[in-house]
Structure 1
Amino acid sequence: MQLLTAGVDEAGRGPLAGPVVAAAVVLDPARPIEGLRDSKRLTLRRRVHLAGEIRRNARAFAIGHASVAEIDIMNILNASLLAMRRAVERLRIAPTQILVDGNRVPELPDPHVQLHAIVGGDDSIPEISAASILAKVCRDRLLQRLDRQFPVYGFAQHKGYPTAVHIRALREHGPCDVHRRSFAPVRRVLQGVR
């Protein structure tokens, strides 16, 4: 049986707003993609270019999300693992091996799938790098849409991360529907603590 490897990574664990997004990617060895690495080490332009290459050349890819409500209910770690599981379950082909960036792996219903957590895998394993890029590009686009819906927060610029601009807007306007109320800076605003 041929080993079919999927790389999995997430984007959006640290922001104060928006969903956490995960991607699962099965690369095609016959169609290699040059320049894959951790999405955080790439320019926006390069990330977007590589995301297109991944979509065109991968054997399969899928995206999974966990909502702000799910993050607030189950915590960001468990929501990230849920988003990863959803991404894997949406792949149109079933991998025999899944490589996940980090030190935790999602629970999957198929006990025959090999799961491996690889710390730093997003910069060393091409499948994980590809997943890192797709997850980041997808989440950034979601935050750009949220910026149009909630323009006072500046989501298009900071993507929900706790920048000075974001914290100032949060204090001035209070949280909106897409803020993670379980995160301390948002919770402090809700409690009236500066």
Structure 2
Amino acid sequence: MSILSPQSINEQAARDRGARVVVGLDEVGRGPWAGPVVACAARLIGPPPEGLDDSKKLTARRREALAPQLEACCEIGYGEASVAEIDTLNIRAATHLAMARAVAALRTPPDHLLIDGNDRPGWVDCPHTLIIGGDGLSPSIAAASVLAKIRRDRGMAALAQQHPGYGWERNAGYGTRQHQDGLARHGVTQHHRRSFAPIRKMLCQ
């Protein structure tokens, strides 16, 4: 049995404890120098599509191919925290805020959350399981991982149209050489995270 089958051990363990609405929760975008952090909460209401896996193990083309299939078999909530919120709160707190917004956006409140990683947000007040590497161990978290990645990548590609030269359509705001070269040529935009050391250093020069 695949670890990402509908009968995955993590989902089943939650159901064995009486949960009816099991939701996977993941985020993307903690590390980039630019753009928001995006979270997704995903509740499987049908079998997950073939080939679902941790978003980092899938090509962009494969993720895009999975998107309509996931939208058909999941109840989905998205949440974001803006660059301003990241700079005001810090990236950890902003990530937790984005995750709270994703859960709040669901039509059906969860009675068990499967959360990727080992960092429980302070707002979580329902039964939950923290799963390190959860996007490779839980189909609910994997669905959230893929959908969050697609949403953020699309958003960064749209921002790249407004701010060409940083390569955001390819690097999604991470500190690649192309992004560094763009900063050297064009400077810091309103979409850059000023609280992050590389950007802060540029502004202080």
TM-score class normalised by the smaller sequence:
over 0.9
- Aligned equivalent of 1:174, options 180, 187, 205: 187
- Aligned equivalent of 1:103, options 98, 111, 118: 118
Give TM-score, length-normalised by structure 1: 0.93
Q: 1:2 offset after TM fit, Å?
A: 4.6
Q: 1:160 offset after TM fit, Å?
A: 0.3
Q: Does 1:33 align with 2:46?
A: no
Q: What pairs with 1:21-170 in structure 2 (closer than 5 Å)?
A: 21-28=38-45, 30-58=46-74, 60-108=75-123, 111=125, 113-170=126-183
Q: 1:42 offset after TM fit, Å?
A: 0.2
The AA in structure 1 aligned to 2:86 is I
Q: Deviations over 1:113-152 (max 9, x none)?
A: 2122111001111000000000000000000110011112
Kept in 2: contact 1:85–1:107 (CA 8 A): no
Determine the C-alpha separation between the residues in 2 that align with 1:25 and 1:155: 26
Counterpart of 2:11 in structure 1 is none
The AA in structure 2 aligned to 1:79 is A
Determine the C-alpha separation between the residues in 2 that align with 1:138 and 1:56: 16
**CA RMSD across the alignment:** 1.3
Moved over 4 A (4+): none
The AA in structure 1 aligned to 2:176 is T
Q: Deviations over 1:39-63 (max 9, x none)?
A: 00001111111121111111x1011
Give TM-score, length-normalised by structure 2: 0.88
The AA in structure 2 aligned to 1:8 is L
Determine the C-alpha separation between the residues in 1 that align with 2:115 and 2:47: 22
**Count of residue pairs the alignment pairs up:** 188
Q: 1:33 offset after TM fit, Å?
A: 2.1
Structure 1: gaps (5+ residues):
none
